A = this chain, B = another copy of it.
Amino acid sequence: MKPNQRKGVPVATQRAERGGARGPYAKSSAKRRAIVDAAHEVFSQRGYRAASLKNITDHAGISETSLFHYFGTKQDLLVAVLDHRDHLGIRARPDADGCVDLYTELRQQAEWNEDVPGVIQLYSVLVSEATTEDHPGRQYFADRFTELRQRYAREFALLQEQGRLRPGSDPDMLAASLVALWDGIQVQWLHDPASVDVPATLKSFLDLAILPDPPA
């Protein structure tokens, strides 16, 4: 490889970073996006390891040379797919008070997931595959679990302060359980969509953990 050239980064972008001209052409971001979409689908259908780059280029209708221009390695592509999933995946946001209703957030997120083909499958297949040795997605999922557990633990702790948590419950345990329940029920849904209702299952768990609002 020549000096001043980095794998996986378009030359134009590298020039731009050095204060030179241009940056990526207009078409290239659309093409990157098309590659990421194709990779998303193939990874979700076959897993990361069993997916070949040819599977992906065939699906995207491009040459392998093109793929290597945008993503230097298969790992880079996986990272891009996971990042893209993160940007896709957020539906409910805190309201003006900085609060979210946990029920509403989970329901909206769960319903949206089901509507976008491949999102649940990608996540479910990779989160397990990534537990195996030397998997490039390992850190991503470890971080994701830590972050999700902390976030929900804060919500449950807040409810506990308000006396709205069932006595004897631990916010950290509830948070880990909520994440686990969600992941697990999604896998059951993938196996048998007709007999599993993801949003209703999440609601039933919250109903167990959270006491009804005291009458005003």
Residues in A lying within 8 Å of B, measured CB to CB: 44-47, 49-50, 121, 124-125, 127-133, 138, 141-142, 145-146, 166, 168-170, 173-174, 176-177, 179-185, 187-188, 190-192, 196, 200-201, 204-205, 207-209
Number of copies of this kind of chain in the complex: 2
A173, B188: Cβ atoms closer than 8 Å: no
Q: How far is the CB of A151 from chain B (nearest CB, A)?
A: 15
Complex alpha-carbon distance, A121 and B127, angstroms: 12
Kindly list chain B residues whose C-beta atoms are within 8 Å of the C-beta of A166. 208
Residue in B170, B180, B209 whose CB lies within 8 Å of A188:
B180
Kindly list chain B residues whose C-beta atoms are within 8 Å of the C-beta of A124. 128, 131
A200, B173: Cβ atoms closer than 8 Å: yes
B128, A187: Cβ atoms closer than 8 Å: yes
Complex alpha-carbon distance, A133 and B204, angstroms: 31
Once A128-B129, A187-B127, A204-B170 are accepted as A-B contacts, the answer to whether A192 and B47 lie under 8 Å apart by CB is no
Once A47-B49, A50-B50 are accepted as A-B contacts, the answer to whether A177 and B205 lie under 8 Å apart by CB is yes
